[in-house]
Amino acid sequence: QQPVQSPQAVILREGEDAVINCSSSKALYSVHWYRQKHGEAPVFLMILLKGGEQKGHEKISASFNEKKQQSSLYLTASQLSYSGTYFCGTEWAGGTSYGKLTFGQGTILTVHP
Amino acid sequence: DSGVTQTPKHLITATGQRVTLRCSPRSGDLSVYWYQQSLDQGLQFLIQYYNGEERAKGNILERFSAQQFPDLHSELNLSSLELGDSALYFCASSVSGLAARGDTQYFGPGTRLTVL
């Protein structure tokens, strides 16, 4: 089942902050965050693993609430380069997923000067 | 640049035809994943290979098949193409041990397929 992202779109001025949420109805092993610019490849931002480990981008922070199966991506002091579509990809905790990611529908972030 | 390469960048073909998309993973990565991205379906996992073996299957149509070769490059074959197959096809790779859980997947630039 596809995770649900909110909000669907965000418009910011440079320097403002934003939070993007990703919720799953299934127990998760990990949440992966990507940013994609139009027509380009998704670019890896961060992984949050069950148990609290995080791997990824130095300037972006995120959290993973295992009880709620929800992850949040925090974008602070936004820059023009932050514009794009943000996707969360979730990895199911059960069975043998072998890294299969199920992606949310995306959150479009637009940063204006 | 993620280090994952895909060819061709664009492909335009007619309904009923067959095409092959190629992917070379990052040096040292053993796992290759294929994803399809369309406007109505979003980014969808198709199939994963690890060191030449199929590991996981997603929403991949029977008309689609893939393989990973001994040099670790992978090909996605799409046959009997329909208009609805028009999409961006991405390949991703990860270092991955057998479990592949929690591995970072690095995406290639994609192949844009247009079926007319």
Q: Token digits for B82?
A: 């329909």
Is B90 an 8 Å CB contact of chain A?
A: yes
Give me the pLDDT at residue A70, please: 93
Is A99 an 8 Å CB contact of chain B?
A: yes
Give me the pLDDT at residue B80, please: 97
Which residues of chain B have a CB within 8 Å of the CB of A49?
102
Give me the pLDDT at residue A86, please: 97
Helix (H, G, I), strand (E, B) or coil at A80: helix
Cα–Cα distance for residue pair A3/B102, rounded to 1 Å: 17
Give me the pLDDT at residue A97, please: 63
How far does A98 lie from chain B, in Å, by closest CA? 5
Which residue from B minimizes the CA distance to A105? B42
Is B99 an 8 Å CB contact of chain A?
A: yes
pLDDT average, residue stretch A61-90? 92
pLDDT average, residue stretch A89-108? 84
How far does B63 lie from chain A, in Å, by closest CA? 21
Q: Is the backbone peptide bond immediately before A113 cis, with ω within 30 degrees of 0?
A: no
Give me the pLDDT at residue B97, please: 53
Give me the pLDDT at residue B36, please: 96
pLDDT band at A85 (very low <50, low <70, confident <90, very high): very high
CA-wise closest residue to A35 among A112, A111, A109: A109
Rg (alpha carbons) of chain B, rounded to whole number: 13
How far does B42 lie from chain A, in Å, by closest CA? 6
| String of DSSP letters for B36-104 | EEETTTEEEEEEEEETTEEEEE-S--TTEEEEE-TTS-EEEEE-S--GGG-EEEEEEEE---SS-TT--
**Single-letter amino acid, residue B12:** I
pLDDT band at A14 (very low <50, low <70, confident <90, very high): very high
Cβ contact B32:B108 at 8 Å: no
Is the per-residue pLDDT at A52 higher than 90?
no
Is B55 an 8 Å CB contact of chain A?
A: yes
How far does A99 lie from chain B, in Å, by closest CA? 5
**Digit-coded pLDDT (tens) for A40-51:** 999 999 998 877
Give me the pLDDT at residue A73, please: 94
Is B111 an 8 Å CB contact of chain A?
A: no
Is A92 an 8 Å CB contact of chain B?
A: no
Mean of the per-residue pLDDT values of chain A: 89
Is the per-residue pLDDT at A59 higher than 90?
no
pLDDT average, residue stretch A2-26? 95
pLDDT tens sequence for chain B (116 residues)? 889 999 999 999 999 999 999 999 999 999 999 999 998 888 999 999 999 999 888 889 999 999 999 999 999 999 999 999 999 999 999 987 555 567 889 999 999 999 99
Which residues of chain A have a CB within 8 Å of the CB of B43?
42, 87, 89, 103, 106
